Structure 1
Amino acid sequence: MDRGSFLGVLLGFLLLGVAIGLGPNPRIFFNPPSTIVVVGGVIAATLIRFPLDHVRYAFRVASRAFFTRTPETQAVIGEIVGLSQRARREGLVNLEKYLDVEGFLAQGLRMVVDRSGRDHIRDVLAQELRATQDRHHQGQEIFRFIAMSAPSFGMVGTLIGMVQLFASIKDPSNIGGAMALSLLSTLYGAVIAYLLAIPIAGKLELRSREELQLKQIMMEGVLGIEAELNPSVLETQLNAFLSPRERGGERRRPARG
C-alpha cells in the first residue's frame, strides 16, 4: 500500500471532519439534495463522456496506484543482469527455465529464446509500451474530467439553491434549505475535485512514468541479452536510466539461482 497516499486522504478528511465537528451544528453539512446534484451529476457526465468499460478500468487502475507498489528499479536491473550472466554461461535457449519474471520482461525473453530477431523484439515491446501509455493516459483523463466537472456541478447546485431561495422569499421557512443546497453544493464539488480527483490523476501520472521507465529498462535489457552484451556493460547501460543517487545509494540484489 502507498502509505503517503493513504495518509494524505485520511488526513484530508480528518481535517474536514474536525473543522465541521468544531462548529455548532455538524449535521447541517450533510445535505442529500446537494449530494444528489454533485455526485449524481459527476457520475452521469462521466458516463456520458467515456465508455463504461473505460471508467471501470480507470477506477481499477486508481486502486492499484494506491494499493500496489512499483518494483524497485535497481532490483529489476539486478535481475536482468543475472539473466544476462546465465545466458552467457548456459546459452540463450536455456533462458526458458527463468521466465518466472514480470510479464513484460518474460514476453521479451521468450522472443529472445525463440530467436525472433532484434528488430521484431524491439517493435513488439515498443508497441506494448505505447499501448500501456495510452491506457494510462485514458485513466488520467477520466479523473481530470471528474476534477473539472465536480466544481461545475457544485455551481449547478448553487444556482438551483439560489432559484429556490428567491422563490421562497415570501415563505421564510424554506430559505434555510435553499441556502444549504446553494452553499454545500459548492463545497462538495470542491472537495471531490481538490481532495480526490486531482490528486488521484497526479498519482496515476506518477505511477505511469515509473512503470514506463521500468518497462523501458526491461526492453533495453532484453535487447542487450539478445545481443549477448557483457553483463557489466549491460548493467552500466541500464544504470544510465537511474539518477546518481539511485546508482550510488542502493546495492544490486544478487541474482536468483
Structure 2
Amino acid sequence: VQTFVRFAKKARTDGFLALQDDVKATRDDFLKRGVQLVIDGADKEFIQNMMDTELGFVRERHKVGQEIFNSLGTYAPAFGIIGTILGMILMMSTLDDVSQVPRRMALCLSAAFFGLGSGYLLFLPMAGKLKRRSEEELLIKEIIIRGVLLLQTGAAPSLIESNLKAYLDPTTRSLIRSSASEAA
C-alpha cells in the first residue's frame, strides 16, 4: 500500500517515467511488470488483461499442488488399510507358529497407522497450508493489480491508499501508517 502511495506521489510530480528507478529497486516481479506497463504507456484494458492472465496461471499452478496433497491425504489411509489386510493374510497363512502372531499383528497394524498418520497428520494439513498461503499470495497480487490500475489512471495518493486498504483486515490496516499522518 505504501509503495503505491509513494509511486503515486512521485508520478504526480515527476511523471510516470520517474518511476523507472523505483521499479528496478522493487523485489516483487509481479509489481515490477505491472508498473512497467504503466511507465510504457499501456492502456487500462491491456494492463488488466495481462495481470489477470498471470494471476490466473498462478492460481492454477497453486491448485495443482493443493490437489496433489489432497489426493495423497485421501489415498494414504486406504493404502494403510490395504497393507493391514495383506499383512493379516500373511499372518493367517503362517498360523502354525503361534509365537509369531503378536509380531506379525503389530506389523499389520503399523501399516494402518502409517497410512492414517501420513494422510491425516501430514498430507491433508499440508494441503490446507498450501491453500492458505495461496489465498494470501493471490490477495497480494489482486491488491497489486488494483494499485497498478489506480496508478495508471492518475488517482490521488490518498485515494489509492484508502482503496487498497479496503482489501486488508482491520488489524493489518492499523499497522499501515496513513499518508495523512505523515503530512501532519
Q: What's the TM-score, normalizing by structure 1? A: 0.66
CA distance in 2 between counterparts of 1:78 and 1:113 reads: 19
2:89 to 163, 166, 170: 163
2:175 to 250, 254, 257: 250
**Are 2:148 and 1:222 aligned?**
yes
Could you tell me which residue of structure 2 aligns to residue 27 of structure 1? Answer: none
CA distance in 1 between counterparts of 2:115 and 2:41 reads: 55
Structure 1 moving runs of 4+ over 6 Å: none
Tell me which protein shows more helix as a share of its residues.
Answer: 2
Aligned pairs for 1:120-199 (under 5 A) are 120-199=46-125
One-letter identity of the residue aligned with 1:127? T
Could you tell me which residue of structure 1 aligns to residue 134 of structure 2? Answer: 208
- Asked if 2 retains the 8 angstrom alpha-carbon contact of 1:161 and 1:180, the reply is no
Cα root mean square deviation, aligned: 1.6
Could you tell me which residue of structure 2 aligns to residue 236 of structure 1? Answer: 162
Aligned pairs for 1:53-132 (under 5 A) are 77-99=1-23, 100-101=25-26, 102-132=28-58
> What is the percentage of aligned positions where both structures have the same residue?
35
**1:89 Cα deviation from its structure 2 partner:** 1.4
One-letter identity of the residue aligned with 1:83? F
Per-residue Cα deviation, 1:136-164 (whole angstroms, up to 9, x for no partner): 11000000111011111101110111101
Per-residue Cα deviation, 1:40-87 (whole angstroms, up to 9, x for no partner): xxxxxxxxxxxxxxxxxxxxxxxxxxxxxxxxxxxxx11111111111
Q: For structure 2, which runs of at least 5 residues remain unmatched after alignment?
A: none
- Asked if 2 retains the 8 angstrom alpha-carbon contact of 1:151 and 1:193, the reply is yes
Q: How many pairs are equivalent?
A: 178
CA distance in 1 between counterparts of 2:133 and 2:177 reads: 22
Q: For structure 1, which runs of at least 5 residues remain unmatched after alignment?
A: 1-76
One-letter identity of the residue aligned with 2:19? L
Q: Secondary structure at the match of 1:229?
A: coil
Larger radius of gyration: 2
CA distance in 2 between counterparts of 1:209 and 1:253 reads: 25
CA distance in 2 between counterparts of 1:164 and 1:237 reads: 66
- Asked if 2 retains the 8 angstrom alpha-carbon contact of 1:79 and 1:253, the reply is no
One-letter identity of the residue aligned with 1:176? P
**1:180 Cα deviation from its structure 2 partner:** 2.1
CA distance in 2 between counterparts of 1:234 and 1:91 reads: 17
